[in-house]
């Protein structure tokens, strides 16, 4: 398998955590998003929607981090990232979607670039936007935890799940923008417990190196 990803992309980080938790080996194809490599014609040959991550499994290239994690779960069931009980699974998926669908897109690169350009915002304006949507989304997460009462050391009791693969990268993004995370103690407690684990350390942005992907020819995409 080849994973096309970017070190600080939270959607990529989700998939790296899942791969590391399951101990699945892969070749890293690191894209430099600051250099807009994800939008290059070369990368569009790999993934026409110009987003990371993408997982090349040989006969197909898979996109969308949660779809990739669910694929990995079905093909490599142990250790599991989705619980055996249907209601628990719905809970884990709801939490994952809350992060991936309600929080992440509002602060994605192209969203921020659009706000910057179309509304003529400087870095201070972008920071205000970013912090607003993090505070809004993290409050939703705290309310969700408070109502469901299914969390323990991790999002779903004491077992790592797909929701943990989502919460840690989202916190990393918020920390990068110096958001105040003190009002979200449950989120932070779960985050702090997860990042001690070797699989989360292995998947972290700081451990991805800086060997950028350059050659679609080498990857057989031309």
Ligand X SMILES: N[C@@H](CCC(=O)N[C@@H](CS)C(=O)NCC(=O)O)C(=O)O
> What is the footprint of ligand X within residues 59-98 (CB under 6 A)?
64-66
CB of 14 to ligand X, least distance (A): 7
By the rule CB under 6 A, 11 interacts with ligand X: yes
Rounded CA-CA distance 184/140 in Å is: 10
How far apart are the two ends of the chain, measured CA to CA in Å? Answer: 18
175, 169 contact by CB (below 8 A) = no
CB of 221 to ligand X, least distance (A): 18
CB of 104 to ligand X, least distance (A): 6
By beta-carbon proximity to ligand X, the closer residue of 109 and 135 is 109
190, 167 contact by CB (below 8 A) = yes
By the rule CB under 6 A, 51 interacts with ligand X: yes
Residue from 110, 178, 180, 201 that binds ligand X (CB under 6 A)? 110
> Which residue's entry shows tokens 């999002």?
155
Q: Which stretch binds ligand X (CB under 6 A): 4-12, 81-89, 123-131, 212-220?
A: 4-12
70, 19 contact by CB (below 8 A) = no
By beta-carbon proximity to ligand X, the closer residue of 52 and 98 is 52
Rounded CA-CA distance 199/195 in Å is: 8
Rounded CA-CA distance 186/169 in Å is: 15
By beta-carbon proximity to ligand X, the closer residue of 65 and 204 is 65
Range 62-76 burial, b when 16+ CB lie within 10 A, else e: bbbbbebbbbbbeeb
By beta-carbon proximity to ligand X, the closer residue of 11 and 20 is 11
CB of 196 to ligand X, least distance (A): 24
By the rule CB under 6 A, 10 interacts with ligand X: yes
Element (H, E) at 132: helix 123-148
CB of 47 to ligand X, least distance (A): 9
Residue from 3, 4, 7, 9 that binds ligand X (CB under 6 A)? 9
By the rule CB under 6 A, 108 interacts with ligand X: yes
222, 216 contact by CB (below 8 A) = yes
Rg of the chain (C-alpha set):
17
> What is the footprint of ligand X within residues 163-202 (CB under 6 A)?
none
CB of 152 to ligand X, least distance (A): 26
Binding-site ranges for ligand X (CB under 6 A): 9-11, 38, 51-53, 64-66, 100, 108-110
């Amino acid at each position: 398998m080849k994973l096309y990803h970017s070190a600080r992309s939270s959607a990529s980080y989700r998939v790296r955590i899942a791969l590391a938790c399951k101990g699945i080996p892969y070749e890293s194809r690191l894209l430099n998003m600051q250099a807009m490599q994800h939008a290059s014609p070369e990368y569009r040959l790999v993934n026409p929607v110009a987003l990371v991550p993408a997982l090349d499994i040989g006969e197909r290239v898979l996109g969308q981090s949660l779809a990739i994690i669910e694929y990995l779960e079905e093909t490599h069931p142990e250790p599991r990232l989705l619980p055996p009980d249907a209601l628990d699974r719905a809970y884990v998926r709801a939490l994952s979607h809350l992060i991936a669908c309600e929080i992440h897109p509002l602060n994605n690169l192209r969203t921020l670039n659009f706000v910057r350009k179309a509304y003529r915002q400087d870095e201070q304006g972008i920071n205000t936007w970013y912090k607003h949507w993090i505070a809004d989304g993290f409050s939703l997460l705290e309310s969700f935890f408070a109502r469901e009462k299914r969390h323990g050391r991790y999002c779903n009791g004491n077992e790592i799940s797909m929701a943990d693969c989502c919460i840690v990268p989202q916190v990393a993004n918020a920390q990068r923008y110096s958001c105040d995370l003190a009002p979200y103690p449950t989120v932070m407690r779960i985050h702090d417990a997860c990042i001690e684990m070797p699989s989360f350390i292995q998947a972290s942005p700081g451990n991805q190196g800086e060997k950028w992907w350059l050659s679609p020819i080498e990857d057989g995409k031309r």
